[in-house]
């Protein structure tokens, strides 16, 4: 079983993963007693996804290997497939992969015989991030149906925006997007941030993904912060019960003001914590729920 794209999962299966993650949050114990090994193969930088998958595996009693791409035979021209096949032959039980190429996993699935968990493919998908976002929203509101969310920032280059836009609509949420027109995605329900902010239940901010741009951003950092950044004046316009989310890493005083990061409405670090429970659920699912 693989976890590549949330489109591959039914709504019932998504809810099952969220339920399992909630059980882990509430103390559910599973111990693979070191008999399973999880290999984290990150071909792009990561802090949260990489080390929360690692933490999740350790909490399940698995052993882990953490691939160092910068000192690997990638530098000698080895391909993605040959790298992953090598780990399969070592005897690892699952691979967690982040790679710059959209749908990199399509070249692997027919030929790799262990579970693959997609930890982010280019601008395409970030399934475990969306699941932890959903868990955080469900914990807050107890439902998805009827909720409104605005995702603000570099929509076109964000795998988080792409994954969330689809799955949140499937679960009954109304999803708006906003931010610089140069990063707008056609068909993504674009709105003016200041016109929607007082109507939504969730404000989700995104980092500008400079590493995926071919041209420099048109606005200065100060202009970006003034036009699209969440500052305390905009927070004051949010509904009383509304929450702030960000997949992180965040750039303080660009898309979010320094004093808003940990304000009362912010669930940003709760998202990080939920990431471990979601990844425990995903690993437990692919390694076999009957230990």
Contact between 248 and ligand CP by CB under 6 A: the answer reads yes
**Contacting range for ligand CP; rule: CB under 6 A; set: 5-13, 87-95, 186-194, 247-255:** 247-255
Contact between 269 and ligand CP by CB under 6 A: the answer reads no
Distance in Å, CB of 233 to ligand CP, minimum: 27
Name the residue nearer to ligand CP (CB basis): 49 or 178: 49
Q: How far is it, in rounded angstroms, from Cα 232 to Cα 18?
A: 32
- How many angstroms separate the Cα of 12 from the Cα of each of 9, 15, 73, 119, 171? 8, 5, 41, 22, 10
**Contacting range for ligand CP; rule: CB under 6 A; set: 33-41, 102-110, 191-199, 242-250:** 242-250
Q: How far is it, in rounded angstroms, from Cα 291 to Cα 250?
A: 38
Contact between 49 and ligand CP by CB under 6 A: the answer reads yes
Distance in Å, CB of 126 to ligand CP, minimum: 6
Of the candidates 231, 10, 25, 264, which has an alpha carbon nearest to the alpha carbon of residue 136? 25
Name the residue nearer to ligand CP (CB basis): 196 or 280: 280
Distance in Å, CB of 29 to ligand CP, minimum: 26
List the interface residues with ligand CP, window 50-79 (CB under 6 A): 50
User: Of all helices (H) and strands (E), which one includes residue 276?
Assistant: helix 268-287
Contact with ligand CP (CB under 6 A): which of 196, 247, 257, 278?
247
Contact with ligand CP (CB under 6 A): which of 39, 118, 129, 178?
129
**Dihedral over Cα of 152, 157, 158, 163: its sign:** positive
Name the residue nearer to ligand CP (CB basis): 196 or 261: 261
Contact between 274 and ligand CP by CB under 6 A: the answer reads no
Binding mask 99-128 for ligand CP (x = CB under 6 A): ---------------------x--------
285 by Cβ neighbours in 10 Å (0-12 / 13-18 / 19+) ranks as middle
Contact between 172 and ligand CP by CB under 6 A: the answer reads no
Alpha-carbon 130 to chain mean position? 5
Q: Is 40 helix (H, G, I), strand (E, B) or coil?
A: strand
75 by Cβ neighbours in 10 Å (0-12 / 13-18 / 19+) ranks as exposed
**Contacting range for ligand CP; rule: CB under 6 A; set: 23-31, 46-54, 105-113, 232-240:** 46-54
For residues 97 and 50, the answer to whether their CB atoms sit within 8 Å is: no
Q: How far is it, in rounded angstroms, from Cα 215 to Cα 182?
A: 11
End-to-end CA distance of the chain: 16
Name the residue nearer to ligand CP (CB basis): 146 or 249: 249
Count of residues interacting with ligand CP (CB under 6 A): 10
Residues at the contact surface with ligand CP, assessed by CB under 6 A = 46-50, 120, 129, 247-249
């Amino acid at each position: 079983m693989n976890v590549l794209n949330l489109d591959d999962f039914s709504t019932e299966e998504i809810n099952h993963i969220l339920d399992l993650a909630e059980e882990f949050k509430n103390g559910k114990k599973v111990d693979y007693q070191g008999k399973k090994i999880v290999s984290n193969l990150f071909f792009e930088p990561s802090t949260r996804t990489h080390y929360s998958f690692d933490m999740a595996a350790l909490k399940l009693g698995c052993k882990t290997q953490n691939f160092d791409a910068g000192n690997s035979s990638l530098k000698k021209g080895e391909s993605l497939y040959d790298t992953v096949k090598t780990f399969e032959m070592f005897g690892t039980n699952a691979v967690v992969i982040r790679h710059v190429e959209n749908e990199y996993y399509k070249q692997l699935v027919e030929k790799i015989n262990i579970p693959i968990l997609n930890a982010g493919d280019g601008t395409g998908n970030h399934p475990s991030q969306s699941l932890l976002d959903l868990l955080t929203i469900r914990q807050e509101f107890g439902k998805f149906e009827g909720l409104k969310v605005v995702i603000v920032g570099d929509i076109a280059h964000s795998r988080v925006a792409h994954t969330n836009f689809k799955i949140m609509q499937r679960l009954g949420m109304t999803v708006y997007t906003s931010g610089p027109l140069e990063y707008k995605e056609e068909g993504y329900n674009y709105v003016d941030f200041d016109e929607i902010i007082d109507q939504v239940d969730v404000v989700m901010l995104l980092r500008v993904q400079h590493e995926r741009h071919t041209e420099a951003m048109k606005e200065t950092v100060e202009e970006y912060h003034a036009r699209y950044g969440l500052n305390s004046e905009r927070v004051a316009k949010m509904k009383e019960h509304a929450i702030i989310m960000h997949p992180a890493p965040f750039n303080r005083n660009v898309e979010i003001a320094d004093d808003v990061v940990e304000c009362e409405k912010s669930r940003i670090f709760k998202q990080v914590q939920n990431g471990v429970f979601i990844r425990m659920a995903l690993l437990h699912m692919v390694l076999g729920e009957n230990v």
